[in-house]
Structure 1
Amino acid sequence: MLALGLCLVFLAVSGAGAFPEALAAKNISQKEAEFDKTYTDAVNSELLNIYTFNHTVIRNRTEGVRVTVNVLSEQKETPVLFVMRQKEAVVSFQVPLILRGLYQRKYLYQDVSRTLCQPQTKSELETQFFYVDVSTLSARNASYQLRVTRVENFVLRTNERFSFNATAAQPQYFKYMFPEGVDSVIVKVTSGMAFPCSVMSIQDILCPVYDLDNNVAFIGMYQTMTKKAAITVQKKDFPSNSFYVVVVVKTEDQACGGSLHYYPLSTDEPVDEGSRQKALDVVVSPAITATVYIRATLFCLGIFLSFYLLTLFIACWETWRFLWCLAGHPHITPDSLLGHPPYDGYGHGYGSFGGGLGLPGLTPAPPCALADRSLENMASRPRLDSLSSVEEDDYDTLADIESDKNVIRTKQYLSVADLARKDKRVLRKKYQIYFWNIATIAVFYALPVIQLVITYQTVVNVTGNQDICYYNFLCAHPLGNLSAFNNILSNLGYVLLGLLFLLIILQREISYNRALMRNDMQALECGIPKHFGLFYAMGTALMMEGLLSACYHVCPNYTNFQFDTSFMYMIAGLCMLKLYQKRHPDINASAYSAYACLAIVIFFSVVGVVFGKENTVFWIVFSIIHIIATLLLSTQLYYMGRWKLDSGIPRRILHVLYTDCVRQCSGPMYVDRMVLLVMGNIINWSLAAYGLVVRPNDFASYLLAIGICNLLLYFAFYIIMKLRSSERIKLIPLLCIICTSVVWGFALFFFFQGLSTWQKTPAESRQHNRDCILLSFFDDHDIWHFLSSIAMFGSFLVLLTLDDDLDCVQRDKIYVF
């Protein structure tokens, strides 16, 4: 009866596949077995061996039991089946153990070791039995060795490192219990060897434990790893206040960036366990507390709100200095300043930041209409009494201005008055379109992005697959459903400083409109024409950069990297357009053409990220388009738009080359412009050649580098030409330039630390992960967010204030370059 009962139990637990085997079994051998003793036996189709083990389970003490088997006979068609029956769980496996890899490649393992989970007990002391059944369908004897041991150090201790070895057929897992007062821990698994590829998993206390390569991803959270893996575990996610740390060595290394030929090609030969063994260390340490979250959030808010306080302080200080100036000079009254604000070395006047980015002088200068500033001191430039040969009043309609474009714009020396002839209301509406278009783009771009990243985060939380997102896992602090709240919080600076810049622009526009309403001659006839639409677009782009960068860092990976860079391209493009607009207000690009070009750039960014890594055709096409676009833009800038792209352009080019280079060797008519454009073409052609030869993996960053290089070149040219024209840089923009350059330097240092990279596999990316360096909350990339947002804000202020020294200079005395 006992033998019949055991047979029925064996049928129930071993499944339908073992049914013929059970029927064929005629003899059952049951043995009382002991721990730490090796049993060498044999089974065949007519013999079933059952080993009975008993051990004492204490409620407050957890022990692991490990079963190690080694089949000495090689019988691939009739493997040996091992079934471990215990309370609340059954674990079974065959030897040779077959694990499948890429392309259904089979790997056979003769030496298998598995850990049995410990069932829960309600009593203080309980003796539990478990059984190991060994059977086979082979008619010949199959020899094997069986050994059952207790696992020492099965329970991990906080902040104590534990070392162990694992293979694909000998996985390891350990238990961790949350101590009192600890709500979150970070589990770190490290290894001195990159390969073989491994998987680290966090699973709830359930039986059986999924600890093989083909089932470790079924439940819990998991990561592939080479040398590093880290998972932050929160107590609220585990009702039993404990969890298993499971480490499995994979059969192949493709998931970690390895190559397939590293493994034996034959699927019939057993895998050498020695070549696939990996030494690992595991340590569990408490994660940060709620106090650290609060301190880091207040720190982030404090940094950027301090810029608001500084702006308010400067505004109050400038106002006080202005009133003090009036009080010290009774002959100067506010009424006398309505028409002619004083001009001084610092340029207090309409539209100044906080009432004036400079300080009002003690001695009033002559108003704009009486200012005498000639161009005779300009280097290598002849004296011109007036650079504007035709006044705007000479025209009745805009059509008349259009007919005279070739006469005005082809002069050798142009003044701002020559290129500021269109009606101010027309230009104001033209440049306002920049703001409204980017606001529309922002709405339609941001909404699907937010929906997509929420979906990404949901998939990560539901599936537990932490290979989807490329975080710095050693410094990824979750909050709610967000896996890396610190990377999102650090983008707050872009939004707050972008909003502050919009407020500054609004204040300047209000002051300027008031000056226009009172027919202020300085506002009407002097200085660089004030158009604020591009500034509003820049501030909006900075805010959107913060929002989309935060969305990207919800789940950073190669499929959504364009979210983080799209508005960087726009910021670079808008800054170049604003620099050009300062001296060319009438001929600057329209918002529609500008955003269309930026859309093409973003299109190439997406195509380059997805297809451009090893695609030679893509790099050839992109390089050709890059060079052609550079040449077309150079021609547009050199001739101020007075040329046509049609079928006759080759003939005109040949004519120019013949007349200027063959018949007579004459230099370029516009020397300054030619120098800039030659340097620009050299740089862009070099970048195109670099991309074609090197083919950088990060195409989006390469494309952004092209935009930044062109922006820096144009900005440097603008400053050099400003100084050559005997203009000067005032104190406030000079301080902004110096401080911004320093901040940019530190920002780039932290940017190039490279804490993760989606150009590699998730496991390889984690090799670059590093611990937090600021407040135990922010990492190097967070500091890049802080510094780059401040640097961008400073760069915008430079563009805003760079030409404040010209506010009291007549426009026909301001040189165009």
Structure 2
Amino acid sequence: NPSRNPESSRRKGWGRPSPSSTGFFHTEGVRVSVNVLSDQKDQPVLFVVRQKEAVVSFQVPLILRGLYQRKYAYQEVSRTLCQPQTKAEVETQHFYVDVSTLSLNTSYQLRVTRVENFVLRVATMAAMGPFSPQYFKYEFPEEVDSVIVKVTSAMAFPCSVISIQDILCPVYDLDNNVAFIGMYQTMTKKAAITVQKKDFPSHSFYVVVVVKTEDEACGGALPYYPLSKNASPGLQCSCHHRLCVGTSWGQGRELSPVPAYVRSVLFCLGIFLSFYILTLLIAGWPRVSADGPGPAAGERSLENVASRPRLDSLSSVEEDDYDTLADIDYDKNVIRTKQYLCVADLARKDKRVLRKKYQIYFWNIATIAVFYALPVIQLVITYQTVVNVTGNQDICYYNFLCAHPLGNLSAFNNILSNLGYVLLGLLFLLIILQREINYNRALLRNDAHALECGIPKHFGLFYAMGTALMMEGLLSACYHVCPNYTNFQFDTSFMYMIAGLCMLKLYQKRHPDINASAYSAYACLALVIFFSVVGVVFGKGNTAFWIIFSVIHIVATLLLSTQLYYMGRWKLDSGILRRILHVLYTDCVRQCSGPMYVDRMVLLVMGNIINWSLAAYGLIVRPNDFASYLLAIGICNLLLYFAFYIIMKLRSGERIKLIPLLCIISTSVVWGFALFFFFQGLSTWQKTPAESREHNRDCILLDFFDDHDIWHFLSSIAMFGSFLVLLTLDDDLDCVQRDKIYVF
């Protein structure tokens, strides 16, 4: 039987003094430290601390397990005793330490000390190792509803776990049980946990700090600690580091949530509703001048086209009529392969047919949005529920230093800041609706300008763009419910849509008859999203994937270049290689003639250089964030095409009116500021949760929004401005005949 030395059984008492000057009772913490001087891992010494309503037991050497069931033994152990709840304001409590062992000759040291500043304000500790966990108590003042517990270190701290636990006994303060209760985070340099009073009936909680046995959980190396006779394996490689690093923590700020939340919501609504007011003012300005004296523009143009028939109803138009022209295929080839094309050459189809063709873009994206958003919402709610139930705050990569919870949501500020995408997307849809109503009225009165002048007005793609902007806000909000590696695709899917739709709209302006159908366009975008998912899941470090993707990227670039250069008048069949060789021989070898379409060739050469370079970069560097890499490809191509469009517009003798010019300048400035805040990098799921928290920063706006929230504000405004640029860019051509508007 184990023998017990009565002299080694000790008793200690502590009390609860009278209330302090701060207004609440000061509780003294008691710490029991044991050091077994003899190395006898086969016959450990058992220490049992008996208190009122609590028993804490541990053996020395203390055996803890790490990754792959590695064992670590510690000869020195320190534990803080929990504080059972008491009804009396002043009460003396006693505890007993029982020591037992099978060994007949064991020497040890047992020390009992009081913990200074046990009721937490600001405390400092030196990390000893997994054998010496520490915790402190925090008591909520009556006027405070939530606090942020901040843990900071001037230099890299050993991989640790910060836990928030209710005032209960026992306290789970070992590496193998700290995750059993409460909320917890891993930490190297920073940690921050928002705690709400409503979650703790006693209006107080413990802040527990536990050093892990290994650094692997925080992204560090996984050393092998041999169990030697004279070594403490947990301290062998980093004893000095763990002994000397100082860490301080305390409540970062005391929050009074309701006024701050209301103020922040009103701030968001005020910013974006001001755009509605500004739009109404701008829309009403030309209307005042148009209502002035003199004949209306519509009356002046009815005089010339009074005999023209009104447009028939769309009810007789079928989808099979999309590519019908009065001329035959040979006539198409003659027209579309001319060296110099005008918009009239590529706007010959029935307006009813084209209108229905482009309306399908809107209805398809609306359908996609519903079926895409519903499972996404369900999934992120599940993520948030898991975080709330398990307390594991390593699941989601928030900026914990500026995370404001609301209800079950851990970071309401990151969700609220996406409101701009939805409101500005809705505003853009209203602007398009107004433009379409005015255009249809002009058609009904047979306005010559509407019938024969300017870029053909088709609004389906604009409606799709506005819907995509609203969905970007919704899905970005869903992603920020629990941002992590597996659901980042939610944040980027409709960004791909927006980039693709903007390029299609630019191309449609001058090529309405030959622009892609909604079915083929969304099929290509679905393929992009498919590669995004595969790249996120399998792309990290997978050489085969990057080779396949780079080849597909280059081949797709070549096929698209051919399609654009020949205006779609080529066929992909078994004779394609023979025709390519024939063109190369006749145009490059036999007579070495230059390209027939120089401007198009310049654009396509630049596009191929950029895309081939991006493919090479991906193959060589293999970036971890594949979704952002894929988005960068789309944005680079969009910017290239937009720059080409502007240059060709000016080269063709056209001009940019004041409103689109102001939109271009202001949008460029806003994009610049937005990207600055985007690249602040407050968190990153490419690293471990503990490493990600090293990038966390405090709020910088209204003590509620962080840098990434400002990115949401500015990028939504910049996207809205970019859409307005596309909408108004060719307003200078509204009175120019279509046979005088060049195609490029």
TM class, shorter-length: 0.7 to 0.9
**Whole-angstrom distance in 2 between the partners of 1:90 and 1:786:** 54
Q: 1:286 to 1:726 in 2, by over 3 A?
A: farther
Alpha carbons 1:373, 1:813 under 8 Å: kept: no
**Whole-angstrom distance in 1 between the partners of 2:313 and 2:712:** 48
Deviations 1:656-712 (A, max 9, x none): 111011110100000000000000000111111111111112111111111001000
Instruction: Compare 144-153 and 626-635 and name the one that shifted more.
Output: 144-153
Deviations 1:400-459 (A, max 9, x none): 354521111111111111101111111111100100000000000000000011111111
- Measured after TM superposition, the shift of residue 128 of structure 1 is 2.3
**Whole-angstrom distance in 1 between the partners of 2:87 and 2:390:** 32
Deviations 1:252-288 (A, max 9, x none): 11110011136458xxxxxxxxxxxxxxxxxx99999
- 2:125 is aligned with 1:167: no
Deviations 1:459-515 (A, max 9, x none): 111110000000000000111111101000000000000000000000000111111
- Measured after TM superposition, the shift of residue 399 of structure 1 is 5.8
Alpha carbons 1:69, 1:112 under 8 Å: kept: yes
- Measured after TM superposition, the shift of residue 634 of structure 1 is 0.2
Alignment counterpart, residue 612 of structure 1, candidates 522, 531, 539 = 539
**Whole-angstrom distance in 2 between the partners of 1:779 and 1:99:** 39
Q: 1:242 to 1:388 in 2, by over 3 A?
A: closer
- Measured after TM superposition, the shift of residue 125 of structure 1 is 3.3
- Measured after TM superposition, the shift of residue 45 of structure 1 is 13
Q: 1:384 to 1:667 in 2, by over 3 A?
A: farther
- 2:335 is aligned with 1:408: yes
Structure 1 spans left out of the alignment, 5+ residues? 1-43, 47-52, 57-62, 158-162, 266-283, 315-326, 333-364
Q: 1:264 to 1:300 in 2, by over 3 A?
A: farther
**Whole-angstrom distance in 2 between the partners of 1:285 and 1:434:** 68
Alpha carbons 2:321, 2:353 under 8 Å: kept: no
- Measured after TM superposition, the shift of residue 397 of structure 1 is 6.2
Note the 1:186-585 alignment, pairs <5 A: 186-261=148-223, 263-264=225-226, 292-314=260-282, 398=325, 400-585=327-512
**Whole-angstrom distance in 1 between the partners of 2:232 and 2:713:** 28
Alpha carbons 1:379, 1:725 under 8 Å: kept: no
**Whole-angstrom distance in 2 between the partners of 1:248 and 1:815:** 71
- Measured after TM superposition, the shift of residue 129 of structure 1 is 2.1
**Whole-angstrom distance in 2 between the partners of 1:186 and 1:366:** 65
TM-score between both structures, scaled by the size of structure 2: 0.86
Instruction: Compare 365-374 and 510-519 and name the one that shifted more.
Output: 365-374
Deviations 1:55-93 (A, max 9, x none): 99xxxxxx1111101111212222111111110000001
Alpha carbons 2:192, 2:400 under 8 Å: kept: yes
Identity across the alignment (%): 90
Deviations 1:24-71 (A, max 9, x none): xxxxxxxxxxxxxxxxxxxx899xxxxxx9999xxxxxx111110111
Alpha carbons 1:100, 1:251 under 8 Å: kept: yes
**Whole-angstrom distance in 2 between the partners of 1:697 and 1:296:** 35
**Whole-angstrom distance in 1 between the partners of 2:293 and 2:195:** 71
**Whole-angstrom distance in 2 between the partners of 1:479 and 1:384:** 54
**Whole-angstrom distance in 2 between the partners of 1:601 and 1:394:** 29
- Measured after TM superposition, the shift of residue 613 of structure 1 is 1.6
Alpha carbons 2:75, 2:232 under 8 Å: kept: no
Alpha carbons 1:186, 1:232 under 8 Å: kept: yes
Deviations 1:504-543 (A, max 9, x none): 0000001111111111111111110000000000000000
Describe the SS at the equivalent of 2:164: strand
Alpha carbons 1:186, 1:285 under 8 Å: kept: no
Instruction: Compare 490-499 and 393-402 and name the one that shifted more.
Output: 393-402
**Whole-angstrom distance in 1 between the partners of 2:113 and 2:284:** 95
Alpha carbons 2:317, 2:352 under 8 Å: kept: no
Q: 1:90 to 1:585 in 2, by over 3 A?
A: same
TM-score between both structures, scaled by the size of structure 1: 0.79
Deviations 1:553-588 (A, max 9, x none): 000001100000000000000000000000000000
Alpha carbons 1:388, 1:418 under 8 Å: kept: no
**Whole-angstrom distance in 2 between the partners of 1:189 and 1:217:** 18
Alpha carbons 1:55, 1:127 under 8 Å: kept: no
Q: 1:655 to 1:457 in 2, by over 3 A?
A: same
Alpha carbons 1:222, 1:464 under 8 Å: kept: yes
Q: 1:672 to 1:467 in 2, by over 3 A?
A: same
Describe the SS at the equivalent of 1:66: strand
Describe the SS at the equivalent of 2:299: coil
**Whole-angstrom distance in 1 between the partners of 2:403 and 2:95:** 42
> What is the aligned partner in structure 2 of residue 710 from structure 1?
637
Alpha carbons 2:302, 2:448 under 8 Å: kept: no
Q: 1:246 to 1:610 in 2, by over 3 A?
A: same
Q: 1:392 to 1:515 in 2, by over 3 A?
A: farther
- Measured after TM superposition, the shift of residue 193 of structure 1 is 3.0
**Whole-angstrom distance in 2 between the partners of 1:457 and 1:433:** 36
**Whole-angstrom distance in 2 between the partners of 1:742 and 1:396:** 42
Alpha carbons 1:192, 1:227 under 8 Å: kept: yes
Describe the SS at the equivalent of 1:252: coil
- Measured after TM superposition, the shift of residue 647 of structure 1 is 1.4
- Measured after TM superposition, the shift of residue 122 of structure 1 is 2.1
Deviations 1:161-186 (A, max 9, x none): xx112333400000010112111111
Note the 1:112-123 alignment, pairs <5 A: 112-123=77-88
Describe the SS at the equivalent of 1:815: coil
Q: 1:285 to 1:414 in 2, by over 3 A?
A: farther
Deviations 1:372-404 (A, max 9, x none): 999999999999999999999999963635452
- Measured after TM superposition, the shift of residue 147 of structure 1 is 1.1
Instruction: Compare 393-402 and 563-572 and name the one that shifted more.
Output: 393-402
Alpha carbons 1:376, 1:383 under 8 Å: kept: no
Give the superposed CA RMSD: 6.7
Describe the SS at the equivalent of 1:723: helix
Q: 1:287 to 1:312 in 2, by over 3 A?
A: farther
- Measured after TM superposition, the shift of residue 237 of structure 1 is 0.7
Alpha carbons 1:387, 1:812 under 8 Å: kept: no
What is the aligned residue count? 690
Q: 1:384 to 1:152 in 2, by over 3 A?
A: closer
Q: 1:432 to 1:251 in 2, by over 3 A?
A: same
Instruction: Compare 792-801 and 117-126 and name the one that shifted more.
Output: 117-126
**Whole-angstrom distance in 2 between the partners of 1:595 and 1:430:** 13
Deviations 1:115-168 (A, max 9, x none): 001222223433322111111123xx22211111111111112xxxxx112333
**Whole-angstrom distance in 2 between the partners of 1:407 and 1:384:** 29
Alpha carbons 2:158, 2:212 under 8 Å: kept: yes
Deviations 1:187-220 (A, max 9, x none): 0011123242001000000011000000000000
Alpha carbons 1:375, 1:384 under 8 Å: kept: no
Instruction: Compare 546-555 and 603-612 and name the one that shifted more.
Output: 603-612
Alpha carbons 1:369, 1:525 under 8 Å: kept: no
Alpha carbons 1:609, 1:699 under 8 Å: kept: yes
**Whole-angstrom distance in 1 between the partners of 2:138 and 2:579:** 80
Structure 2 spans left out of the alignment, 5+ residues? 8-23, 236-259
Q: 1:372 to 1:181 in 2, by over 3 A?
A: closer
**Whole-angstrom distance in 2 between the partners of 1:247 and 1:126:** 28
Alpha carbons 2:456, 2:509 under 8 Å: kept: yes
Instruction: Compare 110-119 and 371-380 and name the one that shifted more.
Output: 371-380
Alpha carbons 1:367, 1:808 under 8 Å: kept: no
Alpha carbons 2:310, 2:446 under 8 Å: kept: no
Note the 1:731-770 alignment, pairs <5 A: 731-770=658-697
Q: 1:112 to 1:380 in 2, by over 3 A?
A: farther
Deviations 1:619-639 (A, max 9, x none): 111111111100000000000
Q: 1:55 to 1:629 in 2, by over 3 A?
A: closer
**Whole-angstrom distance in 1 between the partners of 2:553 and 2:160:** 43
Q: 1:566 to 1:391 in 2, by over 3 A?
A: closer
